[in-house]
Amino acid sequence: MPDADGLLFQYGIYAFDGPAAFMLDLVRQFAVVDEGGDHDHYVQVHCELRYGPTPALRALGGFGSWFFQDSGEDLDEWARALDERAVWAVVRELEPVGVRVYQERV
């Protein structure tokens, strides 16, 4: 299954369950199969860091990037590209106002 094992890196300003916050979300996606070995659903495990929406964070806008193990892409190259994003320089100077680790069925 092409998207059975995936990684997602995403960020942006959202107000899903309260006041607007800058959310930096690291996600691991797994496929769940039924007893017959057929796809049933996905489970995503999130590690979400929340920050107050400062002007510097607002200026970053939103971003999302997936990596799938069987895509033919190189994991190290994907990680290097994420490491070069400006978001790290901004959040390095800030304290998160919240951290949430959770899983969801999708």
| Residue 102 pLDDT > 90 | yes
pTM of the model: 0.88
Residue with tokens 């901004």: 90
Distances (CA, A) of 63 to 2, 30, 78, 81, 85: 22, 21, 14, 13, 10
pLDDT tens digits for range 6-41 = 999 999 999 988 889 999 999 999 999 899 988 899
Residue extents of the structural domains in the chain:
5-105
